[in-house]
Structure 1
Amino acid sequence: MADLFPERRDHDAPEEPRVVGVDGDDADAVLSALSADTARSILTALHEEPATASELADRVDTTLQNVQYHLDSLDDAGLVHEADTVYSEKGREMTVYGPADRALVVVAGREEETSGLRGALKRLLGGLAPLAVVAAAAEWLLDGPFAPDLAGTGDAGDYAISAASTEAADGAVDAGPTLLDSLSSSPGVLLFLGGVVALVAATSVAALARRRR
């Protein structure tokens, strides 16, 4: 019976952030939809994982009717959309909701300023994904502390054996490297953080140059 009902697909929000100016045409609808705590909780939950109305009711601890009311308002404001359709074990059709945008930024300023901010955010967010891939590759190639142990006999196993031996001989176990030590010695983490700083700096310089034109 379960084969009759398709599994839920992964849903990715659009890559571009949405920048809403407080004096823009869509500001009233967006701010009105987000005026309630429950609506903001629903939108936050959907950014974490798309869900049906009944799942959202459980996650934000409210009634199904209340969730549906706020989903309608969020949909009218263009903040959520119907991302998929799934079926319950009883064959009932259920809509899966997801965020309409990868990120939402509400700003005050002239139209030309918000347009520049939209472009800056797009470039910044667009650079994070390839940077993460490069950082992960560096971590693996340079055998960093967070690199996957494909052989299954990495430092964790060696440390466990060493700790057991030390405990048997001296009655004490070395605590080993701390998380901070691992982070500071990780080539992937250092590369990623350095890349983020460079991206933010480049984006800020580009935005400042546009404002001075």
Structure 2
Amino acid sequence: MADEPTVLHPGDPEVQPLARAIASPTAGEILQALAQEPLTASALAHRLEMPITTAAYHLERLVDVGVIEVSGTRWSSKGREQKVYRLADRVVIVTPARDDLRSLLRKYVSLGLALGGAVLLAGLWEGRQAFAEISPAGRDSGAPVGAPMGLPGIAVPDRVAVYVLAGGLVVLLALIAYEALSRRRRST
């Protein structure tokens, strides 16, 4: 058996020829016969009681898509060289196109981290602005001498947080809508 299966999705260029080659009932009979033992085109035609041209046509199409392969040659009783066909050592899986969970999580977690970073930067910027308004003596210029000082600029001001979060949510919703539309177009 092959080490790694070939995973195909409906939009892949290899899927259409593969589907056409194996869709025929004759191709199915050929594959069943070759699953039992390797055969030449003439032996296959004789076993399945079909014209050799039909067998040769289907064999060539199945070889082209990689489902069967030429395993060697034999000499006929008339002295002609004949190809011997067998099933290819290949596993093919056709599966619906789907983003794997890891890539989706990576995409949205990185977006969330970027949004959180933007909120943090906005908070630091506002904190720096508030800290600059404090006088060099360490007190607010308009406050009485004994008044307690708060922690300037540690918390993110509400207006900045709202704007950054709202903008981030709009971008996130736009990305989700775009992805949903893309999937819908691919499935039709």
TM-score category (smaller protein): 0.3 to 0.5
TM-score normalised according to structure 2 size: 0.47
TM-score normalised according to structure 1 size: 0.42
Q: Which has the higher contact order (CA 8 A, sep 6+)?
A: 1
